A and B are shown apart, each in its own frame.
Chain A
Amino acid sequence: MNLDLYTLYMLSMVILSIAMVVYMVFATLGSRGKREPEKKVVTVLRCPRCGYTKTRDFREGDYVGKVVDEVCPKCGISLVVDAIYEESITSLNQVLRNKRKQEGARKTSSQLKGLTRICCALRR
């Protein structure tokens, strides 16, 4: 094993470029897997007399100002749609996915550390 300085230099360049490519592939894959948070549209019903409110999932046909079939438990009069809006929900799936992503990131960084270690070992 008569490794001279020149070859060592060349080899480390090659290894460094391979490491760069690997890093770039991981970075691209990591950013592609980013998903938007899941969203849900809800309808807020309000009692026009006492102000009792109730939130339920949006149903097709709902509109702000619509008098719905449901009645106020206190006054017994029909509830009116007071607002419709979109909420972001953090589902169990989402939490798990985030966790997995973090683990993935940790794995990538440990792989990179491994590569650096190999480089250093070779130079020695």
Chain B
Amino acid sequence: MANATSPWFGGGSDLATWIIAISILISTILSIFAFLGVAQGFQLRIWKAQIESKLRILESYRDEVRDEVRKRLEKLGARNVEEVLSTALDYFVISPVSIEPTDIIKRLERVLRTEEERLEALVARSLGSRADEVVIKNAVTLLAIANALNILYKYIRHILLTGIKTRNALLVAQLWMLLPFYMRIAKAYYDASKVIAKGIPIGDAAGPLAAYKLMRMLPRIEGPIEITKDTIYSIHEYENRRIIVVKAKGPGSTVGRPGEAVEKIVETLSPSSIASIITIDAALKMEGEPTGSIAEGTGVAMGDPGPEKIRIERIAVRHKIPLYAIAIKMGLEEAITAIKKEIVEGVEKAVEHAKRLIIEETRPGDTIIVVGVGNTLGVAQ
């Protein structure tokens, strides 16, 4: 029996020689390949295959969101659904000229408002007289998500194809390394679409929810009144002070125009009586911070591209009104998916903090504006 195993164990040094010879041969071939750029070609092919598999996931996200909107619109008896979808999915916004900064914020506002009004009109026309405001707003938000996923998909595909066509391994490598980050965003958008379609409040609704809680808690003097498109305010009494609470008009998915609303309120009232403007908004937490924790600061807590925020800043400067901000912390995914219990608890803390701030920083007889900033989906007034 000992002889039977001899090819393997009989000549021990023979085997060792073979192993060494083969390894040297393999490494020589590999280093020649490396010189010729073959190794890089192999690597490129692996990256390409992995990016392509992620692209297929991205495509399915986009298609699922698109089909969801189509299904919802068709159920409501909308006409020309395909036309609405094709327009909305490829809709683009050209940012204003920035080398000439005069009035850039006005120009940006114009462009953004036109986008919003155009998409709403598109859905409203398709739905005809059946159009319900909440339904239109939610459909427009879903279309915006489908648009974002579509653009992301096309962008990644473009970089990949350009990299392959020009045999630019670095470009493909860079895309491959950034892909987990893009996929995280895409997944968050995809999850958000499911929540928004059902009308469940998202994490970003923390601001409007705080405004709602204040409105319910304090005795109401007046309101709610729609002061500008999709934005309402109501006047309340608290410890001999007048509290004006501003939020987007719910429960449809909208952020309203809080900047314009505050501007109008300050201008119609006697500005000298306004003691402070408090903004409450969801803020991106740093990794490691607990979800739903709150922090106080100064400035305007608002995550808009600029036009709304600057209106509050300008009016505050003009009338020397102090700006207070309360942030409710959450992660990127948490901000756009179903609101978590921790965030709702954070909202209660934020409301109590705002009340304490009012007592500490203002006197009886003052008027205070409290703005709940964010998307008010699923939160009424």
Binding site for B on A (CB under 8 A): 1-4, 6-7, 10, 14, 39, 41, 58, 60-66, 83-87
Question: Of residues 330 to 344 in B, which have CB atoms within 8 Å of A's CB atoms?
Answer: 337-341, 343-344
Q: Which of B96-104, B114-122, B196-204, B357-365 forms part of the interface with chain A?
A: B196-204
Task: Known contacts A41-B200, A41-B338; decide if A65 and B9 are in contact (CB<8 Å).
Answer: no
Task: Known contacts A39-B338, A65-B251; decide if A84 and B200 are in contact (CB<8 Å).
Answer: yes
Residues of B within 8 A of A62 (CB): 199, 378
3 smallest beta-carbon distances between A and B, as pairs: A65-B380, A63-B251, A7-B12
Q: Which of B13-21, B260-268, B274-282 forms part of the interface with chain A?
A: B13-21
Taking a contact as CB atoms under 8 Å apart, the answer to whether B341 and A87 are in contact is yes
* Inter-chain residue pair count (beta carbon < 8 A): 77
Q: How far is the CA of A66 from the CA of B250 in the complex (A)?
A: 11
Q: How far is the CA of A66 from the CA of B198 in the complex (A)?
A: 15
Residues of A within 8 A of B198 (CB): 58, 60
Is B379 an interface residue, CB under 8 A from the partner? yes
Most buried by B among A6, A14, A60, A63: A63
Residues of B within 8 A of A66 (CB): 251, 380
Residues of A within 8 A of B340 (CB): 85-86
Taking a contact as CB atoms under 8 Å apart, the answer to whether A63 and B199 are in contact is yes
Q: How far is the CA of A29 from the CA of B79 in the complex (A)?
A: 48
B188 to chain A, nearest CB (A): 13
Residues of A within 8 A of B379 (CB): 63-65
Taking a contact as CB atoms under 8 Å apart, the answer to whether A85 and B13 are in contact is no
Question: Of residues 1 to 47 in B, which have CB atoms within 8 Å of A's CB atoms?
Answer: 2, 5, 9-10, 12-13, 15-16, 19-20
Task: Known contacts A7-B12, A63-B251, A65-B250; decide if A85 and B338 are in contact (CB<8 Å).
Answer: yes
Residues of A within 8 A of B10 (CB): 2
